[in-house]
């Protein structure tokens, strides 16, 4: 499929899809006229990318993570390292949430 169709099907802008290619996250084939041609599993990959961005990962982390998540490159060491990475990031988010909850409790105290 071409970039317009992928954009419509995923809700991700054409600009963003080109950006993903720039970052090496989702690199499509090229037709003889230079048009980007995406394979059938592209929408799934785009969804994964969006989820990871939304979770606060940056392009570098996602680039390293994606091939492993797709079952490619069964490099056990890399996958283990990435699991550690994700666990650490999740822990960070947990402490951030705790900070906010504490502040909320502080306000509750002020209100009494």
Pick the closer one to DNA by CB: 36 or 68: 36
Total count of residues recorded for the chain: 112
Q: Does 74 bind a copy of itself (CB under 8 A)?
A: yes
Beta bridge partners of 36: 30
CA angle in degrees (0–180, nearest 5) for 45-91-52: 15
Q: Which stretch binds a copy of itself (CB under 8 A): 3-11, 25-33, 37-45, 91-99?
A: 91-99
Exposed, middle or buried: residue 25 (CB in 10 Å: 0-12, 13-18, 19+)? Answer: buried
Rg (alpha carbons) of the chain, rounded to whole number: 19
CA 90 to chain centre: 14
Map residues 19-58 to x or -, x wherever contact with a copy of itself holds by CB under 8 A.
Answer: --------------------------------xx-xxxx-
| Interacting residues toward a copy of itself by CB under 8 A | 51-52, 54-57, 65, 68-69, 71, 74, 76, 79-80, 82-83, 86-87, 89-90, 93-94, 96-97, 99-101, 103-104, 106-108, 110-111
């Amino acid at each position: 499929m071409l970039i317009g169709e992928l954009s419509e099907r995923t809700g991700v802008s054409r600009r963003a899809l080109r950006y993903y290619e720039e970052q090496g996250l989702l690199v499509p084939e090229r037709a003889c006229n230079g048009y980007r041609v995406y394979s059938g599993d592209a929408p799934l990959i785009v969804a994964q990318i969006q989820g990871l961005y939304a979770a606060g990962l940056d392009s570098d982390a996602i680039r390293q993570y994606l091939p492993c998540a797709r079952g490619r490159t069964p490099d056990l060491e890399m996958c283990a390292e990435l699991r550690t990475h994700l666990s650490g990031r999740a822990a960070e988010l947990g402490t951030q949430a705790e900070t906010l909850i504490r502040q909320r409790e502080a306000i509750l105290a002020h209100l009494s």
